[in-house]
Chain A
Amino acid sequence: MKPRGSNEALFWLIFSGGGVVSAMLIPSLIASTILGGFGIEEAQVAFSYDRIYSLLSNWIVRIVVLAVIGASLMHAAHRIRHTIHDTRIPIPDPIAATLCYLSALGASGLAALLLAGL
């Protein structure tokens, strides 16, 4: 069964969804892990092994974290693929697309395995 039009539609839908997810969640995520780097003790305590482990032992949190990682990586992969093409970096689009999407899926799969095994 062949869908109508180009399959690019599917990747665009994933890109758009991932764009919303990363716009909403990535800045606060980065802000949380950056604070310890400025020597703020409360932030370092908040990121102690036990606290983060117990936070991620909640299945809902795990699923949300995985969704954020997966959607944002697919979003980034789509943009990187098109930027390669737009700036004429000499990688043929089928190869660039395969590399970008497969790395995003691979990294998300790794994250899923790690989160499931915690």
Chain B
Amino acid sequence: MTDPEKRRPSHNLHSNWWLNHTRYRQRDTRPRPDLGATWWLRGSSYFFVFIRELTSVFIALYLILFIGLIAALYIGAEAYNDYMELLWSPPLTVIQVFTLLFALFHTVTWFNLTPKAVRILKGESPISPLFLITPLYIVWLGVSSIVLWMIFS
């Protein structure tokens, strides 16, 4: 039962056996037109997926700024005040506005796509994705309120 050779039909030599086939086929000289490097310009649905992936760059950028804030805090009051002046300067405020827009886009796409990974049936029909999406937004509002309350109260 646990012996993999016994478990597979005899014609399957290896679980990834199709790879030999496709690797062999890569020497094929016939054309294989593909979507190219700029597939994300092929329509709005591709483009929004690309923006969704790009949110990670802005989230990473913001987190570097945030680690800078902790570093300034670590160094001392003077360094911290200088750093906050920099963080609130017009150029970095603009950058932060962009990171906020991208972060919000990440939140919306992440929540809206979460139901895709789980499929729950009620009887014979799938439950509405809203049953999963709505609680996520409610938790998000709660968590955001706690964060803002902790910082600003």
Contact = CB atoms under 8 A, between A and B. Distances in A.
A and B touch in the complex (CB under 8 A): yes
B54 A83 contact: yes
Contacts, number: 143
Contact of A26 (B40, B77, B80, B103): B103
Interface size band for B: 35 or more
Nearest to B49: A86
Contact of B150 (A22, A47, A49, A55): A55
Chain B interface mostly: helix
B99 A23 contact: no
Interface stretch (B24-32, B60-68, B119-127): B60-68
A42 B53 contact: no
B147 interface: yes
A27 B140 CA distance: 10
Contacts of A53: 73
A20 B110 contact: yes
A77 interface: yes
Q: Which of A29, A44, A75 has the most CB of B within 10 A?
A: A29
Contacts of B128: none
Interface residues of A, number: 52
Interface in B55-89: 55-57, 59-60, 62-67, 69-71, 73-74, 77, 80-81, 84, 87-89
A27 B87 contact: no
B143 to A, nearest CB: 5
Chain A interface mostly: helix
Nearest to B55: A79
Contacts of A27: 100, 103-104, 107, 144
Given A76-B57, A77-B60, A80-B56, 20 more contacts: A23-B140, A24-B140, A25-B143, A26-B107, A30-B100, A31-B100, A31-B144, A32-B152, A44-B84, A44-B88, A46-B151, A46-B152, A52-B73, A69-B67, A72-B63, A79-B53, A86-B53, A87-B40, A87-B50, A114-B67
Interface of A: 19-20, 22-34, 36-38, 42-44, 46-47, 49, 52-53, 55-56, 61, 65, 69, 72-73, 75-80, 82-83, 86-88, 104, 107, 110-111, 114-115, 117-118
18 contacts: A19-B110, A24-B140, A26-B62, A28-B147, A30-B100, A30-B103, A37-B89, A38-B93, A49-B80, A53-B73, A69-B63, A80-B60, A82-B53, A86-B39, A86-B53, A87-B50, A88-B36, A114-B67
